[in-house]
Amino acid sequence: MRTSYLLLAFSLLSNILFAQEINEQWVKDNYTKREVMIPMRDGIRLFTAIYEPVQTDVPTPIFITRTTYTAGPYGEGYNSFLWNKYRNLVKAKYVIVIQDVRGRWRSEGDFVNVRPFNAHKKGKKDIDEASDTYDTAEWLIKNVKSNGKIGVGGTSYPGFYTVMAALSGHPAIKAVVPQAPVTDWWMGDDYHHHGAFMLTDMFNFSPTYMDRPRPVPTDRFIPMKPFYLDDEYSFFMRHKTMKDLTRLAGDSILFWKDLMDHPDYDDWWKARDSRRSLYRVKPAVLVVGGFFDAEDCYGTLGVYKSLRRQSPETDLNFIMGPWFHGAWERDLGNHLGDILFGANTSKYYLDEIEFPFLQYYLNGIGEKPSFDKAVHIFFTGKNEWKDYPVWPVPSAQDYRIYLGKDGALTTKAPSQNDSYSEYVSDPNHPVPYVSTFAHGRSASYMTADQRFASTRPDVLTFRTDILESDLTLAGEIHVDLNVSISTTDADFIIKVIDEFPENFRYDEKTYVEDNQLMLRTRGTMMGSYQMLVRGETMRGRYRNSFEHPEAFQPNEITRVRFDIPDIAHCFKKGHRLMIQIQSTWFPLTNINPQQFVNINTCDEEDFVKSNIRIYHDASHPSSITFQRLAEE
């Protein structure tokens, strides 16, 4: 009876709290903060900020974020997460815990990038991020007032630590929310895509900030070292070789040296792929990501699919929205660049998906997420959410389109002989990935207009006829090319594009709540807009093996196959589906010298032009296979 009264009182109190605005002053009035150094099993102590509700009659859960990006502000200041991304949890009086991971900021020990999971830990000196999470959870359960249940969440690198929390085995950890988790830095996350180095992002991340040495615990921002002040295209053209960038990075960036020492997908990289450890996961999991996440879309999809396959007993939920990296927690999610989505998709996630998930598993409030609606997918083009039991959608059918003569794109296999399209790829005049020049990469490049690229002689463009009905594509994309090159190596960039009708414009009545966005897009001619839906790079030397690269035989027809991460997009009636193919995407990815040399150590003299042919004849068809959904 006492428990029933307490739950009723808690429910009434929650209703009152949820009517209040959560801001910095409210948090300071209703939460206390303490800073502790939590000991790990090997004696290293991790700095931890603990925010506890001043008054609550019913014990509430603990929610942990472990981060490389500071648990600060240190001292009396409060972390702004509490009145932003965690405002729902704060309203419900959760205990919020933010911890500097081992070797970062105020925590002791040595930092290791994406420290490999050790499934066979034995002694106290055998540690990994999962054991550090376990030891943290154990200390909190013993030293913090709570209901004995712990949730863990975080985005990007903290998303990786969240996956490690799921593997920790601590019985109090009941729910985890990995958001855009760093997963495989060689195959498709952050640092590389199919072995091609993500130049702009990673040179501005590793030697500039992330991997600069921190000799002792500190509460000061790690000094950044900006390498350039002008636009990224000009800078990287002056420093085209990885060898030159390594010289600029200097000797103190140890992880950069690791990157240069491991150009292929070897055991060093495989040990850092957390998907390989996702077996028998006990906590409930909500995997979160964005289809337009330039950093970790691959990891989000990979973690979800690996859990489904390797840990079928796990209570698993999944959401993918129209978001750039982290947009679901710090943005309205109603547009990206010139493309409007017509709703506050981020609020939908925080209020309707994340919070009910945590409330059920950590507070016993609400209903268990339905298996039939365990997957939430936002379809751009239609601009609507769809719920499914699993992803990819089992009922989806293969939709194979063939490249054809004169830029045709058709569902019919080619019948002609000796047909190909060709271009010259010149490392001294690489294709830019956006039409503007800037100091750093914009998140909106993932939906950016590709008309500028269509005008380049080193970009092939293939398009369907005008669609007579909606075409909804959902799931992974499979590329199968027959190519020849005049050199011994080349990259192949595939871009999937939605070409809008020439008279297209946004309906102001439909987007009446987004007046600011209407003003934002009025500067762009939306008629014939070529919206990037997905773009991906394949480094040709890895066409047969990611572990063992192979040179091309010059001018010999060769098959190149690879997969592109999932999309969820409706190509509306009156639009066209377009495919672009090119061999440079600069400086998003580094330039392939187009010779079979070590790209990380070669000289500028090794960069040569290559004549590239994409075949589309009866004997050597080239095609892209999508997954098509039946229209409702």
- Average pLDDT on 159-183 reads 98
pLDDT at position 172, please? 98
Residue 530 gets the label, from left (phi > 0), alpha (psi -120 to 50) or beta, of beta
Token pair of 541 as six digits: 């030397």
- Average pLDDT on 266-289 reads 97
Q: Map out the domains of the chain with their CATH numbers.
A: 1-179 (3.40.50.1820), 192-213+222-270 (1.10.3020.10), 397-629 (2.60.120.260)
Statement: residue 17 has pLDDT above 70: no
When the pLDDT of each residue in the chain is averaged and rounded to a whole number, the result is 94
Token pair of 209 as six digits: 């900030």
Tally Cβ neighbours within 10 Å of residue 361. 23
- Average pLDDT on 210-232 reads 90
Token pair of 531 as six digits: 């919206």
Please give the Cα distance from 366 to 353 (Å, whole number): 12
pLDDT at position 7, please? 39
pLDDT at position 225, please? 85
Statement: residue 4 has pLDDT above 80: no
Question: Is residue 378 within 8 Å of residue 385, measured between CB atoms?
Answer: yes
Q: pTM for the whole thing? A: 0.94
**Maximum CA pair distance of the chain?**
83
pLDDT at position 219, please? 92
pLDDT at position 507, please? 75
pLDDT at position 509, please? 53
Please give the Cα distance from 98 to 119 (Å, whole number): 25
Q: β-strand 623-629 against 471-485: which pairing, if any?
A: antiparallel
Residue 513 pLDDT class (50, 70, 90 cuts): very low
The per-residue pLDDT for range 60-95, each reduced to its tens digit, is 999 999 999 999 999 999 999 999 999 999 999 999
The 3-state DSSP class for residue 238 equals: helix
Distance of alpha carbon 575 from the chain centroid: 28
pLDDT at position 514, please? 45
> Around 19, how many Cα atoms within 13 Å sit in the side-chain half-sphere?
5
Token pair of 361 as six digits: 């598993």
Statement: residue 1 has pLDDT above 50: no
Percent of the chain past pLDDT 90, that is, above it, reads 89
Place of tokens 């195959």: 187
- Average pLDDT on 113-127 reads 94
Peptide bond into 392 cis (omega under 30): yes
Please give the Cα distance from 29 to 201 (Å, whole number): 40
pLDDT at position 18, please? 45
pLDDT at position 133, please? 98
- Average pLDDT on 556-569 reads 98
Residue 224 pLDDT class (50, 70, 90 cuts): confident
Peptide bond into 73 cis (omega under 30): yes
Token pair of 167 as six digits: 């593997």
Please give the Cα distance from 299 to 181 (Å, whole number): 6
The kind and range of the H/E element at 96 are strand 95-100
pLDDT at position 471, please? 98
DSSP labels for 321-360? ES--TTHHHHS--SEETTEE-SS-HHHHIIIIIIHHHHII
Statement: residue 508 has pLDDT above 80: no
- Radius of gyration of the chain, Cα coordinates, nearest whole angstrom: 25
Residue 409 pLDDT class (50, 70, 90 cuts): very high
Question: Is residue 15 within 8 Å of residue 365, measured between CB atoms?
Answer: no
pLDDT at position 632, please? 65
The per-residue pLDDT for range 363-406, each reduced to its tens digit, is 999 999 999 999 999 999 999 999 999 999 999 999 999 999 99
Question: Is residue 627 within 8 Å of residue 521, measured between CB atoms?
Answer: no
